[in-house]
Chains A and B, each alone.
Chain A
């Protein structure tokens, strides 16, 4: 079955530090890959996505590149801010037809950014 393995947290950084959160996946077919963010007390928000190999998703300074050869989709940001403190989830959607499109999530990584 499909699965997502995400770097264990928590991750604590100082403001302006470089962030990497690793994510690897196992899937049948050709999945789409996503990063979701969950701020304290809120729901899941799509941060970025990539739908095919070598695509780079980007948003709010975050980037991730779909690497089929290493089955990875690592999240990076060059300079984090206190407001980036949240839980980050890597996810995939792999559908071979039908009407489902369900998401498979990783365990989430708690990021805390200190001033």
Chain B
């Protein structure tokens, strides 16, 4: 069964550093998403991406965040200058019109 692949599974970074979280969505999917889950809290929507542009973003997704689909297969989330409160599990997901989401297994980001 096709999977959404996320790398790395765990990343530790120092406050103020830039991080890039990588995702390989399912190849024929058209809608791409990032969600995050702060430890012990609910899963929150960050951003959706369709037709090579952001279709919606949450208030969490400020100027420190950006997404890109650089080569038609990868889908990346960049945090320019990480803060302690960015520590969370970040989930990538993809879907086609009329299908369910497929989530990746997540990247645990720890900002120290």
Contact = CB atoms under 8 A, between A and B. Distances in A.
B36 to A, nearest CB: 11
A104 B104 CA distance: 17
A44 B51 CA distance: 25
Given A100-B56, A102-B33, A108 B104 contact: no
B88 to A, nearest CB: 14
Interface in B11-45: 31, 33, 35, 41-45
Dominant SS among interface residues on chain A: loop
Contacts of A46: 100-101
Contact of A43 (B33, B56, B104): B104
A42 B33 CA distance: 18
A100 B58 CA distance: 12
Nearest to A108: B42
Given A100-B55, A101-B48, A45 B41 contact: no
17 contacts: A43-B105, A43-B106, A44-B91, A89-B42, A99-B55, A100-B55, A100-B56, A102-B33, A102-B45, A103-B45, A103-B101, A104-B45, A105-B43, A105-B44, A106-B42, A107-B41, A108-B43
